[in-house]
Structure 1
Amino acid sequence: MLALQRRAVILDLLRRDGAVRVTQLVERLGVSDMTVRRDLEALARTGTLEKVHGGAVATSSSTTGEEPGFEAKAGLESTAKAAVAGAAAALVKPGSVVAVSGGTTAFAVASRLRYVPGLTVVTNSLPVAELLRGFADEPDAGAPAVLLTGGAPTRSAALVGPLADQTIRSLRVDLLIMGAHGVSERAGVTSPNLAEAQTNRALIESAARLAVVADHSKWGVVGLSRFAALSEIDYFVADDALGEDARAVLTRETGRLILAGAADEA
């Protein structure tokens, strides 16, 4: 992993558990004790954690601060994301209008839409737009038509703000594929970025159906701003490493829980 990717993993563990130990991180990241300590020192300088003997504990900013950038998150939980993407893409019907939000899991779903005929994709994600437009240059292209919302980019390469919101509110889509920074029983679906949460809310209001895509590591993570209650979700697509407590909550509160595994993806 790159340093940014390692530090994103550390922050994810802090959000989930509240504390991490150096020995735990050495095993999880597959790097040396010295490398882990350097990562903790770098994060401590930003105020996102507090170093303690043998590890680190979360500060308030490690729960509510900005997400790591798109590139930093792209390599995290890649097997789980691939399984989630395959299951979510199966929800997309030929000839429909689909919205795809920012985030690396939503991007993974978009990568599966190459051969869905007659598709129109609305997105506020710069990586998703670039990916889908690249499909048009491939042989026998049947690439989806793409509408990029406009707006100001976040660190996660999502376009947000008044321009994006105004464009989105003028549209109606059949299905929204929505990524998540965090999901919990009490807080619902959250983002650490207020502007992105508002734009996500506009996307939800434009959609006939909502599919939230999130691997198991997102459960229990709470960002600064909620943009969806669990009861608003028509499909929650996760990987089969999701814990039993989370499964029970999501089965009860959402329209349908879909669990995908590596075997399903294969």
Structure 2
Amino acid sequence: MNDASRHKLITDLLRETPFASVRDLQVRLGVSPATIRRDIDKLHETGRAKKVYGGISAFEVGGRLAARPYDENRDIAVEAKRAIAQKAASLVRDGDSIIVHAGSTCFQLGVLLARRNLRIYTNSMPLAAYLGEHGSCHLSLSGGELYREPGIIHDPASGAPDYFASRFFVGTQGIDSQGLLESHPLLVKAIGELSTCADEVVLLADSRKFSIQPRNLALTLSRVGTIVTDDGLSDANAKMLENAGVTILIADVGGVI
């Protein structure tokens, strides 16, 4: 197979999935890791895809991944996020093993659970740092490289962790009838992997997220057991969730402590 044929196969693959690791491509194309890395470099140089740690990703429209940096996102809708976190914390029992994903609402949940008798697994660098300094829970961390824009620790080649939880608490950049939507390809990959490690997926999302429509599907609504949101949820979106079998919990933003 020549270079042009491999490059076409790689770009075709990126229309179906937002990220492919070197290992994924090596297996699919039957060539050496060195050849795959040269292909990735060439596709990056020509602007057909983006070279990222561990592999290659599709470009967003305009050539930019549009996920909002964690430091910027944490200061938006803070009261709603804290209220959602308080409501979500009531679902957790002492002795539980849970997964808390990266993101600002999930961070608020982690703060509330820091000194509970729990096992918490997280891929969030900000949350890991907080729990290490202020928490007494049993803490397990994702391994890999630090990605500062989404604030996660991730190894694209490692797959799902060897950890099982009763609940996976996850946020999202946007929501539609398909499910959870993200711009950053590593978040898509991480959410998909971690969702296989828990009995129930609990989505923490303020009502703004229903008006945000990134292009990449991270998780279908059918995989979500419960959503914790605020009272800005519209009737139409509530019906969409109910039709998908998702339990809706509304947080009292006015009652946040």
Common fold: TM-score over 0.5: yes
Percent of pairs with identical residues: 21
Q: CA contact under 8 A between 1:197 and 1:226: conserved in structure 2?
A: yes
Question: What SS does structure 2 have at the residue aligned with 1:234?
Answer: strand
Sort the Cα spacing of 1:145 and 1:162 in 2 relative to 1 into closer, same or farther, 3 A: same
Q: Which amino acid aligns with 1:177?
A: F
Q: CA contact under 8 A between 1:232 and 1:254: conserved in structure 2?
A: no
Q: CA RMSD in A?
A: 2.0
Q: CA contact under 8 A between 1:82 and 1:108: conserved in structure 2?
A: yes
Instruction: Give the structure 2 partner of residue 245 of structure 1.
Output: 236
**Whole-angstrom distance in 1 between the partners of 2:125 and 2:239:** 35
Cα-to-partner distance string for 1:58-88 (whole Å, 9 max, x where unaligned): xx74898331211101110011111111111
Return the TM-score normalized by structure 1.
0.69
Sort the Cα spacing of 1:131 and 1:183 in 2 relative to 1 into closer, same or farther, 3 A: same
Q: Which amino acid aligns with 2:234?
A: G
Question: What SS does structure 2 have at the residue aligned with 1:177?
Answer: strand
**Whole-angstrom distance in 2 between the partners of 1:201 and 1:107:** 19
Q: Give 2:245's match in structure 1, choosing from 227, 234, 254.
A: 254
**Whole-angstrom distance in 1 between the partners of 2:104 and 2:62:** 20
Q: CA contact under 8 A between 1:64 and 1:222: conserved in structure 2?
A: no
Shift of the alpha carbon at 1:178?
A: 0.4
Q: Which amino acid aligns with 1:224?
A: R
Question: What SS does structure 2 have at the residue aligned with 1:162?
Answer: coil
Instruction: Give the structure 2 partner of residue 15 of structure 1.
Output: none
Instruction: Give the structure 1 partner of residue 85 of structure 2.
Output: 85
Instruction: Give the structure 1 partner of residue 212 of structure 2.
Output: 221
**Whole-angstrom distance in 1 between the partners of 2:64 and 2:92:** 32
- Structure with greater helix share of residues: 1
Sort the Cα spacing of 1:63 and 1:227 in 2 relative to 1 into closer, same or farther, 3 A: farther
Question: What SS does structure 1 have at the residue aligned with 2:113?
Answer: coil
Aligned length: 197
Shift of the alpha carbon at 1:182?
A: 0.7
**Whole-angstrom distance in 2 between the partners of 1:254 and 1:95:** 28
Structure 1 portions without partners, runs of 5+: 1-59, 137-142
Instruction: Give the structure 1 partner of residue 222 of structure 2.
Output: 231
Return the TM-score normalized by structure 2.
0.71
**Whole-angstrom distance in 2 between the partners of 1:106 and 1:193:** 17
Question: What SS does structure 1 have at the residue aligned with 2:140?
Answer: strand
